[in-house]
A and B are shown apart, each in its own frame.
Chain A
Amino acid sequence: MARATWSGFLSFGLVSVPVGLYSATSDQTIHFNQLVKNTSHRVRYKKVDEETGEELTTEDIVNGYPLGGGEYVVVTREEMAEAAPGKSELIEIQDFVDLEEIDPIFFRQSYYLAPKGKGADRAYALLLQAMLETKKVGIATLVLRDKEHLVAVRPAEKVLMLETMFFEDEIRNPEEELDTLPPVGNANARELSIAKKLVDSLTDAWEPSRYKNTYRQRVEELVEQKRAGHAVVHGAEDRPKSNVIDLMSALQASIDRSSKRPTRSAAKASAPSKSASMKVSAHRERRGLDAMTKADLAERAKRLKIDVTSKMTKDELIRAVSAAKKKSG
Chain B
Amino acid sequence: MSPERVLTAIDGRELSLSNLDKVLYPDTGFTKSQVLDYYARIADVMVPHLIHRPTTFRRYPNGVEGMSFYEKHAPEHQPDWIKTIEVPSKRGEHEPIVYTAVSDRPSLLWAANLAAIEFHVPLWHVAKGKSKPAPPDYMVLDLDPGPGTTIAECCRVAQWVGERLDRGSLFAKTSGSKGLQLYTRVRRTTWDQLGERAHELAQAIERDHPDEVVSMMKKTLRDGKVLIDWSQNNSSKTTVAAYSLRARPEPTVSTPVSWQEVDRCAKNGNPDTLRFEAKDVLKRVEKFGDLMGSLVATKSVRK
Interface residues of A (CB under 8 A from B): 190, 193-194, 197-198, 201-202, 205, 239, 243-248, 250-252, 254-255, 257-258, 261-266, 284, 287-288, 291, 295-296, 298-300, 308, 310
Contact between B27 and A254, CB atoms less than 8 A apart: no
Asked whether B129 is an interface residue with its Cβ less than 8 Å from the other chain, the reply is no
Contact between B65 and A246, CB atoms less than 8 A apart: no
- Nearest-CB residue, chain A, relative to B1: A257
Contact between B67 and A250, CB atoms less than 8 A apart: no
0 or 1 for each of B10-33: is its CB under 8 Å from A? (1 = yes):
100011010011010011110111
Interface residues of B (CB under 8 A from A): 2, 6-10, 14-15, 17, 20-21, 23, 26-29, 31-34, 36-37, 40, 65-67, 73, 75-76, 94-95, 109, 147, 178, 223, 248-249
Contact between A245 and B33, CB atoms less than 8 A apart: no
Contact between A264 and B26, CB atoms less than 8 A apart: yes
List the 4 closest pairs (A to B, CB-CB), nearest first.
A263-B29, A254-B33, A254-B20, A247-B10
With A244-B9, A247-B15, A254-B2 known as contacts, the answer to whether A198 contacts B94 (CB < 8 A) is no
CA distance A193 to B76 in the complex (A): 16
With A193-B95, A265-B28, A299-B178 known as contacts, the answer to whether A258 contacts B10 (CB < 8 A) is no
Contact between A265 and B33, CB atoms less than 8 A apart: no
Contact between A245 and B2, CB atoms less than 8 A apart: no
Q: Which of B28, B34, B65, B223 contacts A288 (CB 8 A)?
A: B65
Q: Which of A205, A243, A248, A251 contacts B20 (CB 8 A)?
A: A251
Q: 13 new A-B pairs (CB below 8 Å) besides A247-B15, A263-B28, A300-B249? A: A190-B94, A194-B95, A201-B73, A245-B9, A247-B36, A248-B10, A251-B33, A254-B20, A258-B33, A258-B34, A264-B27, A265-B29, A308-B147
Contact between A257 and B21, CB atoms less than 8 A apart: yes
Q: Which of A239, A243, A264, A310 contacts B29 (CB 8 A)?
A: A264
Contact between B10 and A246, CB atoms less than 8 A apart: yes
Q: Which of B7, B31, B178 contacts A239 (CB 8 A)?
A: B7
Chain B residues, CB < 8 A from A250: 6, 8, 17, 20, 33
- Nearest-CB residue, chain B, relative to A191: B95
Interchain residue pairs with CB less than 8 A apart (19): A194-B94, A194-B95, A201-B76, A243-B7, A245-B7, A245-B8, A245-B9, A247-B10, A247-B17, A247-B36, A248-B40, A251-B33, A251-B40, A261-B29, A264-B26, A265-B27, A265-B28, A287-B65, A310-B223
Chain B residues, CB < 8 A from A202: 76
Q: Shortest distance in angstroms between B277's beta carbon and chain A's nearest beta carbon? A: 14
CA distance A154 to B265 in the complex (A): 61
Chain A residues, CB < 8 A from B29: 258, 261-266
Contact between A247 and B67, CB atoms less than 8 A apart: no
CA distance A316 to B165 in the complex (A): 43
Chain B residues, CB < 8 A from A197: 73, 94-95
Chain A residues, CB < 8 A from B67: 205
Q: Which of A246, A254, A263, A295 has the most chain B CB atoms inside 10 A of its CB?
A: A254
Q: Which of A193, A251, A252, A291 contacts B66 (CB 8 A)?
A: A291
Chain B residues, CB < 8 A from A205: 67
Chain A residues, CB < 8 A from B10: 246-248
CA distance A251 to B109 in the complex (A): 11
Contact between B9 and A247, CB atoms less than 8 A apart: yes
Q: Which of A263, A291, A310 contacts B65 (CB 8 A)?
A: A291
- Nearest-CB residue, chain B, relative to A287: B65
Q: Which of A205, A243, A255 has the most chain B CB atoms inside 10 A of its CB?
A: A255
Contact between B21 and A254, CB atoms less than 8 A apart: yes
Contact between B26 and A288, CB atoms less than 8 A apart: yes
CA distance A198 to B98 in the complex (A): 11
Q: Which of B23, B27, B29, B32 has the most chain A CB atoms inside 10 A of its CB?
A: B29
Chain A residues, CB < 8 A from B36: 247, 251
Contact between B7 and A244, CB atoms less than 8 A apart: yes
- Nearest-CB residue, chain A, relative to B41: A248
Q: Which of A246, A247, A308 has the most chain B CB atoms inside 10 A of its CB?
A: A247
Contact between B34 and A255, CB atoms less than 8 A apart: yes
Contact between A255 and B31, CB atoms less than 8 A apart: yes
Contact between B21 and A258, CB atoms less than 8 A apart: yes
Chain A residues, CB < 8 A from B32: 254
Q: Shortest distance in angstroms between B217's beta carbon and chain A's nearest beta carbon? A: 14
Q: Shortest distance in angstroms between B42's beta carbon and chain A's nearest beta carbon? A: 13
CA distance A300 to B20 in the complex (A): 29
Chain A residues, CB < 8 A from B95: 190, 193-194, 197
CA distance A128 to B6 in the complex (A): 48
With A255-B31, A288-B26 known as contacts, the answer to whether A244 contacts B14 (CB < 8 A) is yes
Contact between A254 and B31, CB atoms less than 8 A apart: yes
